[in-house]
Structures are given as structure tokens and as C-alpha cells.
């Protein structure tokens, strides 16, 4: 076989931009690089010298899709530093706002970004001509997630109502009540979505991943838990940096996160699902089984089903929280600065998001570290591409490129969190 080159200059339908370079010589993949042109860690630098109370609002600006994740990891890290525990209804409200963000983010990715790959459309605009009802469903689902975030977060983008210790204002029961019917519709729509994506054709592709996610004693994880893996990892969040570190890759200005002595690991919906299937609500479990998804799944292309299942769960969980809600007396617990260091890790829609801060006795941030999920998945994306291309060299150039892009989108990479700009280059020499 002669050497080949496949070039795709722009990878669409991922959040942000970057570049992927796959080099094929004969029948062998010789090189795979995920090149991300990350600007200097602007936000980490920007946080230095600011007050600890500003961290949730500043970091919420990093990503327009998952501001709540940034706020949650920030507040948990600060509360860890200050020895504060937020529980009861305030804790429940944090889960509720996270439900809104998962619904929004998953609806967008499942329908607008990933489904066109499976249905053979260039994009959601083309897909909408043949599937207008499904696209309308996506828009409505996303809107409901948005309404939840807006109600609790104060506004839809860059929410401002989240603070260290709780919220600035908490909703009344009456304010939450109108959401119930909306969420019931959303839950039905999510079940329907799971049924639809379960009928898609999935490339045969499975790998022996190390999945890493939070695990909580009795909840599907959002804000709290231990960091666990299917290969024996079981650590408190505080030990994150003893087990994971970031490597600078010469071809990319971003940092790749790896596990010490073990290499790449997989974070996100598929990891959460494999490690926490037993913590899903019965309805979400049932939706998964009906769509043909076993409690364990190692095919990353099926992450689209998992996102749909998690959407069912998020609607279910939101309804449970609203049903049990009693307005707390105070919107937040008191926090007082002290010289300290704290860590937080929460489950963003795309996977674990780690924050660590050091503050002085007046509450000024001395340094910050933020590890977004996409930075943690980069090595896995590269190794997926290496294996996928190796096994599919007989595909036409067009089909191979299409499926490589699809393989990247399995991870819903939010390049804008870890960088700004994604181009895909599959080069066959």
C-alpha cells in the first residue's frame, strides 16, 4: 500500500478550535498529535491577587457552556480551604443548578454536534431539514436546562448568584414550582432521545480504558465524592495532584494530564456511567437498558447514548430536589478568610474539573491551578485516533476523515476551556 495523507483543516462541531494531526505510512499509523494552541494560562494568572470571593465569578467566564462547573469547583475548593461545609438544602440547590447545566450541555452535544455524524449530515442545519421535530426537541430541552440555570444562577450566561458558602439569593418553593411540568416534559424528551440515539449504528470499537470519575456513597456524582477508577484508584480529591500531573507537549501549547506511572485516563460521561451505573435513578437505568446499553460500556462512540441517559437522570434528579425543597433560612453559610490551601473537583458535563487555590489570611488568591476535563482527555483522544485509524485503513479517505472527526467528538472536547483554537489533519504519506 502506498503512503497516504489526509488533511482536514478545520474540525467543526467541537467547542473552540485546535488541530489534530494523524500521520499514516503504508499500513501503519506513525504519528498522532492533538495540537492545541493554548494561550498562556490566562485565567490562572488573572486570579492571582483577586479576592477569594471572586473566584467563582471569574472562572465562570472561562467557558460559555459550563460556567456552573467552574463555579462549583471554585466554591468547593475555597470551602475546602476555609473549613466550611455546605449541606442541607443549599447543597441540594447546588445539585439542582448542576442538573440544569448537564441538560443544556448534553442536549446541545447530542443533537446539534454529534447526531449529524451518525445520521450522515454535514451539520445540524442540514439535519434539521429532515429531522425538524428532533431539532425542535433539542432546542426545547436545552431551553429548560437554561431556565433552571437562569433561575438559580441569576442569569443565563455567566451566572452571578453562586458564592463561596452558598448563594446570594435562594428561590422560594413557589418560584421552583413552574419548573416541575417543564422538567417532566424534558424527562420524557430525554427518554425519547435515548431511544432515538440507541438506534444509531456504532463503529465497532472498544478499548481497555482507565475510567476516572467521582463516586459518592449514594448519589450519581455532581459535586462531591472520591476520585475512583476501574483500575483501583480510590483517593480523596485532596490527593489529586499526588496522582495526576500535567505534561507539556512540544507540539502543543496546552498541557496534557496523565496519571503518574499509569499514563492516560478517560474522564466524562462514559467514565461516570461505568463507575456509577448503580447510582443512576431507576428510570435512567431503564432508559439505558432499553437503548441496548449495558451497565459497562467501552465503546466511546456510544457516549452519545450515555449523554442522553445522563439527561434523563438530570431531569429526574431535578424533579426529586424540587419535590423535597424547603427554602433555607439563610442563602449562605458564613465564610471567613484565613491563610490556607484548598482543592475542589466536580463533574462538569465533560468530566472532572479540578481547581486548587492558595489564599492569604486576608483572602487574597496567591495562586490557582485549574485542570479542565478536555486537558485530561487529550491523551485518550490521541490514542483512540491511533487505534481507530490503524484498524480502519481500508476506509476511503473521506470516510476515514469523517469517522476520525466523529471519534474526537465522542469526547465533546471543549477546547475553549483548555485553549481557543481545532483543526483535523489526517496525513497519509
Q: Quote the DSSP letter at residue 251.
A: T
d(CA 92, CA 170): 11
Q: Does 217 bind another protein (CB under 8 A)?
A: no
Choose the binding region for another protein from 76-84, 137-145, 299-307, 319-327 (rule: CB under 8 A).
137-145
Site string for another protein, 58-87 (x = CB under 8 A): ---xxxxx----------------------
Q: Does 132 bind another protein (CB under 8 A)?
A: yes
Q: Does 120 bind another protein (CB under 8 A)?
A: no
Angle of helix 269-276 relative to helix 303-324, nearest 10 degrees, comes to 70
**150 to 21, 160, 171, 194: CA distances (angstroms):** 39, 10, 11, 26
Q: Is 221 left (phi over 0), alpha (psi -120 to 50) or beta?
A: beta
How near is the Cβ of 394 to another protein at its closest, in Å?
Answer: 30
Residue with smaller CB distance to another protein, 17 or 192: 17
Q: Does 394 bind another protein (CB under 8 A)?
A: no
d(CA 342, CA 8): 42
CB 73 within 8 A of CB 345: yes
Cα separation of the two ends of the chain: 10
Q: Does 262 bind another protein (CB under 8 A)?
A: no
Q: Does 235 bind another protein (CB under 8 A)?
A: no
Q: Does 416 bind another protein (CB under 8 A)?
A: yes
How near is the Cβ of 260 to another protein at its closest, in Å?
Answer: 29
Q: Could you tell me the three cell numbers for 361?
A: 489570611
Residue with smaller CB distance to another protein, 350 or 428: 350
**Residues ≥6 apart with Cβ < 8 Å to 244:** 257, 258, 259, 260, 265, 354, 371, 376
Query: Cα dihedral sign for 193, 196, 200, 204?
Result: positive
- Looking at residues 143 to 202 of the shown chain, list those that interact with another protein (rule: CB under 8 A): 143, 146, 156-158
Residues that contact another protein, how many (by CB under 8 A): 38
Q: Does 420 bind another protein (CB under 8 A)?
A: yes
Q: Could you tell me the three cell numbers for 169?
A: 439569593
Q: Which of 74, 84, 128, 365 binds another protein (CB under 8 A)?
A: 128
Binding site for another protein (CB under 8 A): 10, 12-17, 39-40, 42-43, 61-65, 108, 112-113, 123-125, 128-129, 132, 135-136, 138-139, 142-143, 146, 156-158, 416, 420-421
Amino acid at each position: 500500500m502506498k503512503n497516504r495523507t489526509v488533511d482536514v483543516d478545520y474540525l467543526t462541531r467541537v467547542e473552540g478550535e485546535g488541530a489534530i494531526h494523524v500521520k499514516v505510512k503504508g499500513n501503519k499509523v506513525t504519528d498522532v498529535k492533538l495540537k492545541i494552541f493554548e494561550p498562556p494560562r490566562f485565567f490562572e494568572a488573572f486570579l492571582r491577587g483577586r479576592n477569594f470571593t471572586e473566584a467563582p465569578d471569574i472562572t465562570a467566564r472561562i467557558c460559555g457552556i459550563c460556567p456552573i462547573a467552574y463555579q462549583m469547583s471554585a466554591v468547593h475548593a475555597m470551602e475546602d480551604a476555609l473549613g466550611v461545609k455546605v449541606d442541607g438544602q443549599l447543597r441540594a440547590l447546588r445539585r439542582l443548578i448542576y442538573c440544569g447545566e448537564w441538560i443544556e450541555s448534553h442536549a446541545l452535544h447530542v443533537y446539534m454536534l454529534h447526531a449529524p455524524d451518525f445520521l450522515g449530515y454535514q451539520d445540524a442545519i442540514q439535519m434539521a431539514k429532515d429531522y425538524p421535530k428532533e431539532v425542535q426537541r433539542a432546542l426545547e430541552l436545552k431551553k429548560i436546562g437554561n431556565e433552571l440555570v437562569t433561575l438559580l444562577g441569576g442569569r443565563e450566561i455567566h451566572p452571578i448568584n453562586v458564592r463561596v458558602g452558598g448563594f446570594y439569593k435562594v428561590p422560594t418553593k413557589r418560584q421552583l414550582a413552574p419548573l416541575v411540568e417543564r422538567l417532566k416534559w424534558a424527562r420524557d424528551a430525554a427518554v425519547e432521545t435515548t431511544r432515538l440515539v440507541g438506534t444509531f449504528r456504532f463503529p465497532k470499537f472498544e478499548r481497555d480504558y482507565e475510567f476516572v470519575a467521582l463516586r459518592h456513597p449514594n448519589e450519581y456524582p455532581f459535586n462531591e465524592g472520591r476520585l475512583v477508577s476501574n483500575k483501583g484508584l480510590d483517593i480523596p480529591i485532596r490527593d489529586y495532584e499526588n496522582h495526576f500531573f500535567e505534561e507539556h507537549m512540544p507540539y502543543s501549547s496546552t498541557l496534557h494530564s496523565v496519571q503518574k506511572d499509569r499514563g492516560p485516563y478517560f474522564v466524562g460521561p462514559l467514565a461516570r456511567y461505568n463507575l456509577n451505573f448503580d447510582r443512576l435513578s431507576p428510570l435512567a437505568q431503564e432508559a439505558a437498558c432499553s437503548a441496548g446499553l449495558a451497565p459497562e460500556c467501552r465503546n466511546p462512540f456510544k457516549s452519545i447514548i450515555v449523554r442522553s441517559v445522563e439527561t434523563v437522570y438530570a431531569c429526574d434528579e431535578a424533579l426529586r430536589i424540587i419535590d423535597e425543597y424547603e427554602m433555607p433560612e439563610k442563602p449562605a453559610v458564613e465564610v471567613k478568610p484565613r491563610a490556607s490551601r484548598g482543592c475542589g473537583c466536580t463533574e462538569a458535563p465533560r468530566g472532572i474539573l479540578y481547581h486548587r487555590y492558595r489564599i492569604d489570611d486576608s483572602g487574597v488568591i496567591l495562586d490557582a491551578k485549574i485542570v479542565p476535563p478536555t486537558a485530561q482527555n487529550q491523551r485518550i483522544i490521541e490514542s483512540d485516533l491511533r487505534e481507530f485509524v490503524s484498524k480502519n485503513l481500508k476506509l476511503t479517505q473521506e470516510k476515514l476523515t469523517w469517522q476520525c472527526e466523529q471519534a474526537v467528538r465522542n469526547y465533546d472536547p471543549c477546547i475553549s476551556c483548555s485553549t481557543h483554537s481545532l483543526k483535523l489533519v489526517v496525513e497519509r504519506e
